[in-house]
């Protein structure tokens, strides 16, 4: 199952003549020539193997041939494949409607519909047709490889080889061994995968394996957010793209994968592991029953111009053009409280966006440090031609600093960016409430604390809103605008308008722990830690799976070490405290690392040792 695909296609590298000693496979069979099966057949043929592809009917065979033709035509247009190599590829590709044509294959991979009964039936037939020494593999993304192997008389020669979609592009694959798979067979299939230019990892037979086990819990949680109307589909997807650098938002990705496929994967994982986080969100089953399967039917979470089209068209949920936020309250002077990296970035963003900014720190030395950091950052932008010198000078002229909160008494909007400590923030909001003029908006950049608790200590809870910038604020486009039950809608709209004026993309959500991004991101990270502590896979293999299989910018353990294990633990504790979901309880391994002082890159050791870096 694919997460996301990067463009580009591996080129042939010698083919089986150079790898036959390692793999002892020369003729490959592929059963099922849908999108995935045709892609797998193409990968083998492109890398020099003779391939026999089988489908049930002549019509499906031609459809499979069309998949390969379309994919290789695109590769030729992009200079990734020559016309000669394309012709040679098709010469190595034999397509058939008879499983009997697989009798001389050394290795057969099945890529039929994701149903256990159908796969078992295919393996029973293959077992009677192919040679006793032939290795059989299933491309299942979630079903039990052990159950599939039991349908044969050769379970030791059966394993999983899970390609990711599109197979010609994605570099990652999972090799799944059962408790009875011959280790030599695993080694030979690993060598085979490497001969295709893939980076394989080996895992045991557990529903979802690495990538889907982590990916689909995250996707399911996003569906639950959408179904609860916590945030719009557009805001959920934009939050994960812009806040985490994901290639696609979760709901758009589900439409690409197919909601029926997603439901089956989640249901399989839930029935095997009984993890409530894998229990399919009820709306998924409803949409599948209604035939809203995503891109392939033209409608899923989004509406598409035609079945199988990637082009989204407007529907009843599409935001109206006139919904662009406006300043419902006058905002020209903005205050920022804090002296850390986040506060410094916000000061720069606001000043470059045209606002007069007064920042408040506790001491003159911190005041000078903020000014120096902002100046240095803008100078770098000038040197990279991202900011004109005149604009830099103008922005710096709009910035002033102070060491007393009273300097903010005339501000229209005050954004606090102090330590992520509820007691500290509460005391600050009490002071701001007394100092700031009537009608001024008070905003917090908290990433996980309850905004309503800050609003409740003021006499103006309707004027309090969350504005969660992402670090570094100068670079990251996303801002989560968080409304409490008391926030005046005009205040939230004004906050969004300020964000847009300074070039940020605001998304709206309610006041719940983690908001959109952290509520989706950190349970996924926690699941990865649990997978590691269960010794199912190594940190390196898990990171590889999520980067190459799902095209995420960082693996979970890389990200945890960058964020800080202590920060991650604090956020996960907040999520667990609010939702009381057992699956959100921080993994013991994470607790132990923090207790030991292994906080990630900042201390030189976290999930990995960074001391030598």
Q: Is 224 helix (H, G, I), strand (E, B) or coil?
A: helix
Distance CA 183, CA 582 (A): 36
Please give the pLDDT value at position 5: 37
Please give the pLDDT value at position 275: 86
Q: Is 409 helix (H, G, I), strand (E, B) or coil?
A: coil
Q: Is 174 tagged catalytic? A: yes
Return mean pLDDT, the chain.
93
Fold annotation for 16-204: Rossmann fold (3.40.50)
* 7 has a pLDDT exceeding 50: no
- For residue 3, the tally of other CB atoms under 10 A from its CB is 28
Q: Which top CATH class is 517-603?
A: mainly alpha
Cβ distance 197 to 163 under 8 Å?
no
Please give the pLDDT value at position 4: 39
**What ranges do the domains of the chain cover?**
16-204, 211-316, 333-510, 517-603
Q: pLDDT of 326-382, one tens digit each?
A: 999 999 999 999 999 999 999 999 999 999 999 999 999 999 999 999 999 999 999
Cβ distance 234 to 277 under 8 Å?
no
**Which residue is catalytic, options 2, 71, 212, 526?**
212
For residue 35, CA distances in Å to 25, 61, 162, 257, 564 come to 24, 12, 14, 11, 40
Which are the contacts of 59, defined by CB distance < 8 A and separation ≥ 6?
Answer: none
Q: Is 420 tagged catalytic? A: no
CATH code for the domain defined by 333-510: 3.40.50.720
Which are the contacts of 362, defined by CB distance < 8 A and separation ≥ 6?
Answer: 339, 403
Q: Look at 205 and 13; give whichever has higher pLDDT.
A: 205
* 425 has a pLDDT exceeding 50: yes
Mean pLDDT of 280-295: 96
**Which residue is catalytic, options 47, 71, 162, 165?**
162
Q: Strand runs (DSSP E) across 246-404, as ranges?
A: 303-304, 312-313, 333-337, 356-360, 399-402
- For residue 398, the tally of other CB atoms under 10 A from its CB is 18
User: For the chain, how big is the Rg over CA atoms in Å?
Assistant: 27
Q: pLDDT of 508-536, one tens digit each?
A: 999 999 999 999 999 999 999 999 999 99
Strands 312-313 and 464-469: unpaired
Cβ distance 156 to 181 under 8 Å?
yes
For residue 497, CA distances in Å to 130, 331, 546 come to 66, 10, 35
Strands 172-177 and 199-204: parallel
Q: Do 211-316 and 333-510 have matching folds?
A: no
Q: pLDDT of 239-280, one tens digit each?
A: 999 999 999 999 999 999 899 989 999 998 998 888 888 999
Check whether the bond before 160 is cis (ω within 30° of 0). Answer: no
Please give the pLDDT value at position 319: 87
Task: Return the structure tokens found at 485.
Answer: 């039950």
**Which residue is catalytic, options 110, 174, 348, 416?**
174
Q: Is 108 helix (H, G, I), strand (E, B) or coil?
A: strand
Largest CA distance in the chain: 85
pTM for this entry: 0.89
Look at residues 403, 383, 402, 404 and name the one whose alpha carbon lies nearest to residue 392.
383
Distance CA 400, CA 393 (A): 13
Q: pLDDT of 544-576, one tens digit each?
A: 999 999 999 999 999 999 999 999 999 999 999
Which letter does DSSP use for residue 281 in this model? P
Please give the pLDDT value at position 515: 95
Distance CA 30, CA 60 (A): 14
Distance CA 423, CA 435 (A): 19
Cβ distance 134 to 103 under 8 Å?
no
- For residue 422, the tally of other CB atoms under 10 A from its CB is 14
Q: Is 141 tagged catalytic? A: yes
| Percent of the chain surpassing pLDDT 70 | 96
Q: Is 212 tagged catalytic? A: yes
For residue 347, CA distances in Å to 366, 374, 593 come to 14, 8, 34
Q: pLDDT of 471-482, one tens digit each?
A: 899 999 999 999
Distance CA 217, CA 223 (A): 10
Distance CA 28, CA 233 (A): 42
User: pLDDT-based confidence at 58, cuts 50/70/90?
Assistant: very high
Q: pLDDT of 94-153, one tens digit each?
A: 999 999 999 999 999 999 988 899 999 999 999 999 999 999 999 998 899 999 999 999
Q: pLDDT of 158-195, one tens digit each?
A: 999 999 988 999 999 999 999 999 999 999 999 999 99
For residue 183, with 0-12 CB atoms within 10 Å meaning exposed, 13-18 middle and 19 or more buried, which class applies? Answer: exposed
Distance CA 93, CA 50 (A): 6
Task: Return the structure tokens found at 339.
Answer: 């002296």
For residue 328, with 0-12 CB atoms within 10 Å meaning exposed, 13-18 middle and 19 or more buried, which class applies? Answer: middle
Distance CA 189, CA 25 (A): 9
CATH code for the domain defined by 211-316: 1.10.1040.10
Strands 135-138 and 107-110: parallel
For residue 38, with 0-12 CB atoms within 10 Å meaning exposed, 13-18 middle and 19 or more buried, which class applies? Answer: buried
Q: Is 379 helix (H, G, I), strand (E, B) or coil?
A: helix
Entry field: residues in the chain = 613
| Percent of the chain surpassing pLDDT 90 | 89
Please give the pLDDT value at position 273: 83
* 2 has a pLDDT exceeding 90: no
Please give the pLDDT value at position 322: 66
């Amino acid at each position: 199952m694919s997460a996301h695909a990067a463009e580009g296609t591996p080129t042939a590298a010698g083919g089986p003549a150079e790898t036959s000693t390692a793999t002892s496979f020369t003729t490959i069979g592929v059963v099922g020539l849908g999108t995935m099966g045709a892609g797998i057949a193409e990968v083998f043929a492109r890398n020099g193997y003779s391939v026999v592809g089988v489908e049930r009917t002549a019509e499906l065979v031609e459809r499979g041939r069309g998949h390969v033709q379309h994919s290789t035509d695109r590769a030729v247009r992009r200079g990734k494949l020559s016309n000669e190599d394309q012709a040679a590829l098709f010469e190595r590709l034999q397509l058939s409607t008879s499983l009997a044509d697989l009798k001389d294959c050394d290795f057969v991979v099945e890529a039929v519909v994701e149903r256990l009964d159908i796969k078992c039936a295919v393996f029973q037939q293959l077992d009677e047709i192919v040679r006793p020494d032939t290795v059989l593999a299933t491309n299942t993304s979630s079903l039990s490889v052990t159950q599939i192997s039991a349908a044969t008389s050769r379970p030791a020669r059966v394993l999983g080889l899970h390609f990711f979609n599109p197979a010609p592009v994605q570099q990652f694959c999972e090799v799944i061994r059962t408790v009875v798979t011959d280790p030599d067979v695993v080694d030979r299939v690993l060598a085979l995968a490497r001969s295709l230019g893939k980076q394989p990892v080996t895992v045991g037979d557990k529903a979802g394996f690495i990538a889907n086990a982590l990916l689909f819990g995250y996707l399911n949680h996003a569906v639950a957010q959408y179904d609860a109307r916590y945030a719009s589909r557009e805001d959920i997807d934009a939050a994960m793209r812009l806040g985490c650098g994901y290639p696609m938002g979760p709901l758009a990705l589900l439409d690409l994968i197919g909601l029926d496929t997603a439901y089956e994967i989640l249901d399989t994982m839930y029935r095997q592991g009984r993890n409530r986080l894998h229990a399919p969100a009820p709306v998924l089953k409803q949409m599948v029953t209604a035939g809203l399967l995503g891109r392939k039917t033209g409608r899923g979470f989004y509406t598409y111009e035609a079945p199988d089209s990637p082009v989204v068209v407007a529907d009843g949920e599409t935001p109206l053009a006139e919904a662009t936020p406006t300043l419902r309250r006058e905002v020209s002077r903005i205050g920022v409280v804090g002296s850390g990296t986040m506060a410094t970035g916000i000061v720069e963003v606001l000043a470059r966006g045209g606002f007069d900014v007064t920042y408040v720190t506790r001491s003159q030395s911190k005041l000078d440090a903020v000014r120096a950091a902002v100046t240095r950052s803008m100078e770098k932008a000038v040197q990279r031609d991202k900011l004109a010198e005149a604009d830099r000078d103008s922005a710096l002229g709009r910035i002033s600093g102070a060491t007393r909160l009273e300097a903010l008494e005339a501000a229209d909007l005050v954004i606090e960016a102090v330590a992520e400590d509820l007691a500290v923030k509460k005391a600050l909001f009490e002071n701001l409430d007394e100092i700031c003029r009537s009608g001024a908006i008070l905003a917090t950049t908290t990433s996980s604390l309850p905004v309503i608790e800050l609003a409740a200590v003021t006499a103006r809870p309707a004027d309090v809103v969350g504005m969660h910038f992402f670090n570094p604020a100068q670079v990251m486009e996303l801002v989560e605008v968080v409304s409490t039950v008391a926030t005046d809608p005009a205040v939230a709209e004004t906050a969004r308008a300020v964000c847009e004026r300074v070039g940020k993309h605001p998304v709206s959500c309610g006041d719940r722990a983690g908001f959109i991004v952290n509520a989706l991101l950190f349970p996924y990270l926690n699941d990865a830690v649990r997978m590691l502590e269960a010794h199912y896979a190594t940190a390196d293999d898990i990171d590889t799976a999520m980067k190459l299989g799902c095209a995420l910018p960082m693996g979970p353990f890389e990200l945890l070490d960058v964020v800080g294990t202590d920060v991650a633990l604090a956020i996960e504790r907040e999520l667990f405290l609010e939702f009381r979901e057992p699956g959100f309880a921080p993994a013991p391994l994470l607790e132990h690392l923090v207790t030991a002082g292994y906080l990630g890159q900042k201390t030189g050791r976290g999930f990995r040792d960074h001391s030598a870096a």
